[in-house]
Structure 1
Amino acid sequence: MNKFYKNRRISISLRLTAIHAVILSIILLIISILTINIVERVLMKEYKSEIKKVTEDVKKYIKSGKEINKDILQEVTLKDGIHLKIFGEDESLIFQNKLDTIEINIKEYNELDLIDLADDSRMEILYLNKVVFKENKKYYVQVAKKLDAYDAFLETLYVILVIMNIFGVIIAVISGIYLSRKILKPIEWITNTAKSISIHDLDERINVHGADDELKELGETFNDMIDRLQESFEREKQFVSDASHELRTPISVIQGYIDILDRWGKDDKEVLEESILEIKNETFNMKKLIEQLLFLARGDNKKYKLNYSEFYLNELIDDIVNETKMIDNKHTIINNVNGKVIINADFDAIKQVLRIIIDNSIKYTADHGDIFIESEKQNDYVEIRVKDTGIGIPKEEQPYIFDRFYRVDKSRSKDTGGSGVGLAIAKWIVKKHLGAIKVESELGKGTQIIIKLPINMY
């Protein structure tokens, strides 16, 4: 069934050509009909005017009292094809300009003074009968014109217009094929480019040139789409590569300690305890990384849904400060500014953001350093600032710290246990809340992360 339908499919080019030909044919037909109609009216009007003029000239001649004979031809101009007859009161023929003249009864076909058409066995005749009075005498004047030239001209015009219409349709088909192919050429390029593109080869692009029209815009849109796809695939490949690298490290460490235990560590209590402790640490780090990766994957697939509710942000920050002081006694946690404000947000997600940022501040701030946590309302937003006195971030590195798996101090990654995923999660959550997050840092003088969240999402 599909194969049958495919074989019967009519291409856009053929449809455009057919539409073009039909429209042009209709236009030519309308023009031809109008042309014939106008020509008929103009010629008939001219013939009638000619007959009326001759009739009036003859009338003037008769009323002048001159003798009715061939001298009338010197004063009345009779064009070729004009037949003139003058009858007496008894309807006897007094004068005619042609011997082989047409025969029309002076009273049979129409009323006097009315131009009409008569038919003989061969053609149509246009004529006018008129009564002329001179003193007490009555004359009948008949002026007629054969329409054989008129009919022959119209027949010739019909033939010419038919031939023109036929040639017009042929030209319409040829030009329609040419124009449709030229117009649809960019679509063919798009189709061929799309066929040549695969996941492993996204470098193909449409050669966009020519007039600035909708098809060019379509090509540019297609190229933009491929650019985004390529960027997405590259990011996905990089994500998988980085995730594999991050997971490979703890697995290698765990495998190394297991080999030690298997060889001789089981009999050495100190080695046994050290191995178990390191395996636990690496397992914890790996579990944390997997959870972060799953979070990002759900976010990318739009499967992670935020649960919005109203709560006091200052109370959440108080809880975070107290928790941090309990688990970290090597740094001074300072919370002098914490304005009372109710926001509409996901409580757990905002708490996760703050934990990630504070955890980074702790990792990169020397012992006995200070960490400031502040919040205050600003119009329809609330601003949260987490500032430390740590090592700082080089200026050239700052635009990338929210990228996945990006670490500024790569040499310390093992010591800090960071994977470079935390800040990416924080940025994702903030953006989902229609907020903004930015960094201000100076090398050797500390870092400040600033978060702006709308107080009400709706």
Structure 2
Amino acid sequence: MKIRASLRLYVVVAMFLSGTLLVAGMSAVAVNYFFYGLDTAMSTFMHTEAFEFEAQDGQPYQVQEMTIATRWQDLPELIQHRFDKADLENGKLMKNIDGFPILKSPSVRDFLMKIESNGEVRYISLSFDDRNATRILPAKPPQFAYIVLFAFIAITIFGVILLVMLRQVSEPVRQLRDWAKRLDQKQQHETTPNFQYRELNTLAEIIESSLNSVQASVEREKEFLGYASHELRTPIAVTRSNAELLQKMIERGVNSEKQLQVVDRIRRASFTMTDLTETLLWLNRQEQKQLAEESIILGDLVFQIQSELRYLLKGKKVQVSISHDSCELTIPPGLGRIVITNIVRNAFQHTYEGEVAIVQKQQRLLITNHNYSDSDSQHELGFGLGLELTDRLIKQYGWFYQHDILPNGRRVEIDFTR
């Protein structure tokens, strides 16, 4: 079965192995120095004792386990059997230990050293054999066994500390996980909990910021769908109804002039949907996105747009007055066309009997409509973006915008400088 990757398991294993290797390494160093200390002590002892006592050829000096001789053949036979004379070097300690003394003290221990000084040669040996000795005191473990014991104790303590520390760290991580699971739109306005550690608090801020960004994007999508579903109903209905009407005209052989009128209404409705879609898509983008700017003559653009929208005044008693100059501005042409189209369309759409005044001077545009009719029904091709949506478009780009409600109409002013 495949083990799933776990950061917690990885940290525990990595730290425990690191601690174990560190303790084992230090223990190995301690054991090595322990043996080195024993060898140094034995070598010093042999150097000191080698010339302290008189020894002659054939007459070695012996006291208990120690033998000092001037010739190799004067050493005890056991020593000669266990060591090779060819391996001897001046001042080098030779050892013969029974087994590897890890868990218990060795029963047989033989030491031999050859020492040359002032032309004299001494062979000094020490031989210990506890196999047949009667013990008075109970056997004790070797001293370096305590090093191994302390190593296991250190590893155990390290493991316990590691588990405690991991628990201290994993608890805030678990709280962060549970908080992130419960985080929703209602909790966005609540204070972010404190997760004890700076890194976790930073991660919580990133999670909350990401959720806010996603929520804002969702809200923009909902607004886009809401505006689109509401505003596209009329042009879509006009397109469908006129398409059905055109089909009946063709079946009945109605003259082409009337058919072209129907086609023209469908075309204008498609332009309406195109303008609306472009406006909503731009509004739905991030505010930091820059729009390409071009140099245009504002008066010509205003005159062209009001001419294109004159069809909204057919069948109405509306007088339109327009005043414009040749002021040249550098603005995003698409956005400028959308905003002016929306406002002029709104004025034409909601004026059934009265007047519409369009005044453009320098970078300012003033549109005023007066409606003296009681009828306020939507035109069949009504665009109806609404002042709220228009206000958002202009504010998003940073233009000046003012909208005043008059007793029988509205007054809208735009300054196209940022």
Kept after mapping to 2: 8 A contact 1:127/1:142: yes
Q: Deviations over 1:288-333 (max 9, x none)?
A: 997676446655777xxx9x9997623x752433443784854442
Kept after mapping to 1: 8 A contact 2:358/2:367: yes
Seen in structure 2, the aligned counterparts of structure 1 residues 389 and 300 have a Cα distance that, compared at 3 Å, is closer
Q: Secondary structure at the match of 1:371?
A: strand
Match of 2:208 in 1: 223
Match of 1:448 in 2: 414
- Give 5+ residue unaligned stretches, structure 2: 74-84, 99-107, 130-138, 235-268, 311-317, 370-375, 406-410
Kept after mapping to 2: 8 A contact 1:117/1:126: yes
Tell me how large the CA RMSD over aligned residues is: 5.4
Amino acid at match of 1:167: I
Structural mapping, 1:241-390, within 5 Å: 294-295=277-278, 298-299=281-282, 313-314=296-297, 318-324=300-306, 327=310, 330-338=320-328, 348=334, 350-356=336-342, 371-374=359-362, 385-388=363-366
Seen in structure 2, the aligned counterparts of structure 1 residues 33 and 424 have a Cα distance that, compared at 3 Å, is farther
Rounded to whole Å, the distance in 1 between the matches of 2:228 and 2:305 is 30
Amino acid at match of 1:117: M
Match of 1:193 in 2: 179
Q: Deviations over 1:372-406 (max 9, x none)?
A: 254xxxxxxxxxx3333869xxxxxxxxxxxxxxx
Of 10, 14, 22 in structure 1, the residue corresponding to residue 9 of structure 2 is 14
Kept after mapping to 2: 8 A contact 1:87/1:140: no
Kept after mapping to 2: 8 A contact 1:20/1:172: no
Q: Secondary structure at the match of 2:111?
A: strand
Match of 1:170 in 2: 156
Amino acid at match of 2:360: F
Kept after mapping to 2: 8 A contact 1:331/1:362: no
Kept after mapping to 2: 8 A contact 1:292/1:425: no
Rounded to whole Å, the distance in 2 between the matches of 1:45 and 1:145 is 15
Amino acid at match of 2:143: T
TM superposition score normalised by structure 2: 0.57
TM superposition score normalised by structure 1: 0.53
Q: Secondary structure at the match of 1:123?
A: strand
Match of 1:39 in 2: 34
Q: Deviations over 1:420-453 (max 9, x none)?
A: 355267459xx7xxxx43216598997433256x
Rounded to whole Å, the distance in 2 between the matches of 1:420 and 1:231 is 22
Match of 1:438 in 2: 399
Q: Deviations over 1:248-306 (max 9, x none)?
A: 9x9xxxxxxxxxxxxxxxxxxxxxxxxxxxxxxxxxxx99997676446655777xxx9
Structural mapping, 1:107-146, within 5 Å: 107=72, 109=85, 113-119=90-96, 122-130=108-116, 141-144=122-125
Match of 1:420 in 2: 387
Rounded to whole Å, the distance in 2 between the matches of 1:368 and 1:424 is 20
Rounded to whole Å, the distance in 2 between the matches of 1:287 and 1:359 is 15
Q: Deviations over 1:402-424 (max 9, x none)?
A: xxxxxxxxxx9999966235526
Q: Deviations over 1:157-200 (max 9, x none)?
A: 2x223323333333343333333333333432333234334678
Match of 1:283 in 2: none
Structural mapping, 1:31-180, within 5 Å: 31-55=26-50, 58=51, 85-88=53-56, 90-93=57-60, 95-96=61-62, 98-102=63-67, 106-107=71-72, 109=85, 113-119=90-96, 122-130=108-116, 141-144=122-125, 155-157=142-144, 159-180=145-166
Kept after mapping to 2: 8 A contact 1:352/1:426: no
Rounded to whole Å, the distance in 1 between the matches of 2:43 and 2:339 is 99
**Structure 1 position 101, deviation (Å):** 2.8
Rounded to whole Å, the distance in 2 between the matches of 1:44 and 1:188 is 56
Seen in structure 2, the aligned counterparts of structure 1 residues 230 and 319 have a Cα distance that, compared at 3 Å, is closer
Match of 2:195 in 1: 209
Kept after mapping to 2: 8 A contact 1:51/1:128: no
Rounded to whole Å, the distance in 2 between the matches of 1:147 and 1:390 is 121
Rounded to whole Å, the distance in 1 between the matches of 2:165 and 2:220 is 42
Rounded to whole Å, the distance in 2 between the matches of 1:197 and 1:24 is 39
Aligned pairs, number: 332
Rounded to whole Å, the distance in 1 between the matches of 2:26 and 2:296 is 79
**Structure 1 position 238, deviation (Å):** 6.4
Kept after mapping to 1: 8 A contact 2:68/2:124: no
Rounded to whole Å, the distance in 1 between the matches of 2:303 and 2:146 is 98
Match of 2:244 in 1: none
**Structure 1 position 44, deviation (Å):** 2.9
Amino acid at match of 2:195: H
Kept after mapping to 2: 8 A contact 1:389/1:447: yes
Rounded to whole Å, the distance in 2 between the matches of 1:358 and 1:240 is 24
Match of 1:274 in 2: none
Amino acid at match of 1:333: S
Determine what percentage of the aligned residue pairs are the same residue.
14
Q: Secondary structure at the match of 2:328?
A: coil
- Give 5+ residue unaligned stretches, structure 1: 59-83, 134-138, 251-285, 375-384, 392-411, 453-458
